[in-house]
Amino acid sequence: MEWSVNNAFKSYKDMEPKSTMDMVLIPNMDTIDIVLGSSEKGNVVPSAKPRKKTMTSVYLKYFETAPDGKTRRCKFCGQSYSIATATGNLGRHLSNRHPGYDKTGENVTSSAPQPSTTPTIIKKPQQQGRAPQVDYDHLNWLLIKWLILATLPPSTLEEKWLANSFKFFNPSIQLWPGEKYKAVFREVFRSMREDVRASLEQVSSKVSIALDFWTSYEQIFYMSITCQWIDENWSFRKVLLDICQVPYPCSDSEIYNSLVKVLKMYNIENKVLSCTHDNSQNAIHACHALKEDLDGQKMGPFCFIPCAARTLSLIIDDALRTTKPVIAKVREFVQELNASLDISEDFIQLTTAYKEGSWQFPLDASARWSGSYQMLDLVQKQAGKSMDAIVRKNEEMLGNRMLLNTAEKNVVNIVHNYLEPFYKVISEICVNTPPTIGMVIVYMDHISDTITTRQPPDWLKNPAEDMAKKLRSYNNQVCNIFIYMTAILDPRIKCELIPESLNSENYLEEARAHFVRNYYTTPFSSMTSGYSSQDIEDGGAVSFAEEIARKKRRASMSNATDELTQYLSESPAPTKTDVLEWWKVNSTRYPRLSAMARDFLAVQATSVKPDELFCSKGDEIDKQRFCMPHDSTQAILCIKSWTQGGLKLKYKSTEIDYERLMEMAAAAAADISSAGIDKKQK
C-alpha cells in the first residue's frame, strides 16, 4: 500500500466539516484514493451483515475493547469501531491509517510513490479529540534537507538500523527507497540549475571562474567550476556552476572540453574575464587552450592565473620538510591531550604554573598549516617543561618517544621564526574574504623579500631555495598587464604599493588604452545631470561647500581618460578599507572607471577558499568529497552550495518551504505529546 501526502489528509477531509486550514505548498506524490469503512460521529458506512468474530483474528491485537464492551479502539490512533464491525474494516483501517501491517501482523515493504509534476496544497486539519496524523512525505523531504546539509548520499537512508529506529518511534513510518531519493535529488538539481542559469543571464558585468580538482575513493577525477562577479550593489556574488566528472586520462584536453561545456550550458563564455586554476600543468594547458579559443572568437580579454593559496601551501611544505619528524612527535602528544580530559587538565595546570601560555582545548592537531603551526607554537612558546612533565607522569601509557631533546627544540624555534611572516600573511587572506588580487600580490612580494633577505642555517638552505623557486614561478605567471590593471583598481594599492616587477610605465599606458577602448563609450547620466546619484541619495541635503566640490569633480572629468588620472592622483585608501564599499561610495565620481573596477575586482586570487586549504575545516570537506559515490556527487554538492548561497530548494516548479515544514513538524510533535498525556489521564 503506497502512502502519499493526499492519503494522509483525505480521511480528514472525508470525516470533518470544512474549516479554515493552514496550508503549505510542496510537491505531490502520486496519490491513491482511500475509502475508509468506519463508523465515526454518525458517519456510518453501510456494510454486509456483521459476522461474529473470534478473538483469534490477527487484526484484533491492534485494537482494545472499551470498558462498556460495545466498541473497539485502535491502539495507534484511538479510532473507535462498533464491536460488531467486520474485521475487514479493521484491516482497511490499518492499511489506510497505519500502512505497514498485513494480515500476519508483519511489516510490509511497499514501493514508494513516484514524484508528480502537479503541486498539491497540503492542508493541516485543526481537529480536537483525535490522535494527530503524520505526513510521511513531509518526513522524507526533511530527510532530504538533512542529507544535503550533512553531505551524505541517499544510500545513507537505506541503512537497516536507521529505518528500524524510525519504526521504533512509529511502526507505520514509511521511508522512500534509495532510488526514489536519487530520482528526487536529480530533479531538484535540474530545477535549481535552471534558476542559477537564469540568475547568470541577468549579470551585466564580466565574471571570473575558478577551478578545483580532486579524486574520489572510486578513483574518479572531478573538477568544480565556481563563478564570481560583483553585482550592481557592489556585493560579491559567488555560485558553484557544476561538479564535472573529467573522463580518463584526465588530460588538459579533457579538462578543456569539460570546462567549455559548462560555460556554454550557462551561456557565459562571452562574459568570462579570467580563470584561476590550481597550478597543475594540465589545468594551465587547458586554460591556455580556452584563451586561444576566446581570442579567436574575439570575445574580449581573458587571462588565467595560478592560485596564490596553493602556491603558499607548497612553499610552506618545503619549509616544514626538515621538521616533520619533530612535528609528528608533538602532534602525537597533542592527540593524547585532546583524547584525555585528565591529561589535558594536568597540562593546563602545569602551563599556568610554569607561565607557559594559555591553551584552549581541543588543540588543532590537523596536518594542515593551522595544525602544523600550532605544533611549532607549542614548542616555541616554551611549553617544553609542561610537555616533559606530562609525558613523564604518564610514561606507562605514553612512553618516552614524545620527549624532545634540546636539538629538536632548537630546530622548531628556528623554523617557527622563519615561518612567522607566512603565518601573518595566511591569517590575513583567511579572514579577508575574498582577498583581492592586488592585496595578494603585495603579500606575495613581502614573502619574496623575506625568503631572499633572510640567511637560513645550512640545513634549511635547500628548502629555502625550493621555496624561492616556486615563488618566482608564481610571480612570473602574474606579471602581466591584466594583473596590473586588477591591482591598481584596488583603491588601497593603486600604483604606490605595486611590486617593482609589476610596476611598468608601459603597463600604465596599456591600462589607460584598455580603459578608453572598452569603457569610454558607455553613457552615464551622472556625467551630464546637474546632480549625481549621490546627491539624490542624500535627498538634496548637501552642504553648499559639498555642492561646489561635486561640481568641480564633474567638471574635471569632462574627458573619460581623466577619470583614471584623477583616481591614481589621489592617495591610496587605508589598508583596512572595504574595497567594494569604497567603490560603491565613489562610483558617482568615477562612473566609467567603476564599471571597469566591477569587472576586474571580481578576479579571484585563489581557486579555493584559503581557510579550506590552510585550516582543519578543509579536512571535513576533503572527507566528504572523497567518500561521495559518483551517482550522488554532482547533485548533492551543487544543491548544498546553491542552498547555502541563498537559493530555495526547488522540485520542478515548486519551492520547498522548509520553514513551514518545520513548523508543521513541531506542531505535530506537540499534538502527539498532548494526545499521549490525554490518553494517560483517561
pLDDT at 510: 92
For residue 151, pLDDT over 60 is answered with yes
When pLDDT is cut at 50, 70 and 90, the band that residue 288 belongs to is: very high
Question: Cα–Cα distance between 110 and 418 in angstroms, integer?
Answer: 65
pLDDT mean over 449-463: 89
For residue 375, pLDDT over 80 is answered with yes
For residue 526, pLDDT over 80 is answered with no
pLDDT at 522: 57
Q: Helix, strand or coil for residue 664?
A: helix
When pLDDT is cut at 50, 70 and 90, the band that residue 551 belongs to is: low
For residue 313, pLDDT over 90 is answered with yes
> Strand pairing partners for 655?
650
For residue 374, pLDDT over 60 is answered with yes
pLDDT mean over 316-340: 91
pLDDT at 100: 58
For residue 46, pLDDT over 60 is answered with no
- Phi, then psi, of 239 in degrees rounded to 5: -145, 140
Burial class (CB in 10 A: 0-12, 13-18, 19+), 76: middle
pLDDT at 563: 92
For residue 626, pLDDT over 80 is answered with yes
Query: Which of 95-104, 197-206, 392-401, 497-506 shows the lowest per-residue confidence on average (mean pLDDT)?
Result: 95-104
For residue 476, pLDDT over 70 is answered with yes
- Mean residue pLDDT of the chain comes to 80
When pLDDT is cut at 50, 70 and 90, the band that residue 550 belongs to is: low
* Most confident of the following: 65-74, 148-157, 377-386: 148-157
Q: For 264-273, how does the pLDDT look when each residue is reduced to its tens digit (9 = 90+)? A: 999 999 999 9
Query: Which of 94-103, 279-288, 351-360, 376-385 shows the lowest per-residue confidence on average (mean pLDDT)?
Result: 94-103
pLDDT at 527: 35
Question: Cα–Cα distance between 375 and 327 in angstroms, integer?
Answer: 6
For residue 322, pLDDT over 50 is answered with yes
> Strand pairing partners for 654?
651
Which residues in 29-63 are b (16+ Cβ under 10 Å) and which e?
Answer: bebeebebbbbeeeeeeeeeeeeebeeeebbeebb
Amino acid at 225: I
Q: For 50-91, how does the pLDDT look when each residue is reduced to its tens digit (9 = 90+)? A: 444 444 466 677 778 877 777 888 877 777 887 777 777 777
* Most confident of the following: 7-21, 391-405, 546-560: 391-405
When pLDDT is cut at 50, 70 and 90, the band that residue 674 belongs to is: low
> Strand pairing partners for 227?
209, 239
End-to-end CA distance of the chain: 33
pLDDT at 205: 94
Q: Is-contact 514 303, C-beta < 8 A?
A: no
For residue 17, pLDDT over 50 is answered with no
Cell of 611: 581557510
For residue 218, pLDDT over 90 is answered with yes
Q: Is-contact 495 503, C-beta < 8 A?
A: yes
pLDDT at 88: 73
Q: For 241-264, how does the pLDDT look when each residue is reduced to its tens digit (9 = 90+)? A: 999 999 999 999 999 999 999 999
Query: Which of 85-89, 190-194, 279-283, 598-602 shows the lowest per-residue confidence on average (mean pLDDT)?
Result: 85-89
Q: Is-contact 617 368, C-beta < 8 A?
A: no
Q: Helix, strand or coil for residue 450?
A: helix
For residue 161, pLDDT over 80 is answered with yes
Q: Please choose, from the candidates 202, 112, 201, 90, the residue with its C-alpha nearest in 3D space to the C-alpha of residue 157.
A: 112
Element (H, E) at 262: helix 252-265
* Most confident of the following: 83-97, 390-404, 526-540: 390-404
> Strand pairing partners for 240?
226
| Residue 676 vs residue 195, higher pLDDT | 195
For residue 516, pLDDT over 80 is answered with yes
pLDDT at 553: 53
Cell of 544: 553648499
Structure letter (DSSP) for residue 520: S
pTM of the model: 0.74
pLDDT at 22: 36
| Residue 11 vs residue 378, higher pLDDT | 378
Query: Which of 58-62, 314-318, 451-455, 587-591 shows the lowest per-residue confidence on average (mean pLDDT)?
Result: 58-62
Who's near 623: CB < 8 A, 6+ residues apart? Answer: none
Q: Please choose, from the candidates 180, 184, 170, the residue with its C-alpha nearest in 3D space to the C-alpha of residue 132.
A: 170
Structure letter (DSSP) for residue 631: T
* Most confident of the following: 30-39, 635-644, 656-665: 635-644
Who's near 84: CB < 8 A, 6+ residues apart? Answer: 50
Cell of 169: 518511534
pLDDT at 679: 57
pLDDT at 60: 72
pLDDT at 560: 56
Q: Is-contact 338 379, C-beta < 8 A?
A: no
Query: Which of 80-94, 124-138, 160-174 shows the lowest per-residue confidence on average (mean pLDDT)?
Result: 124-138
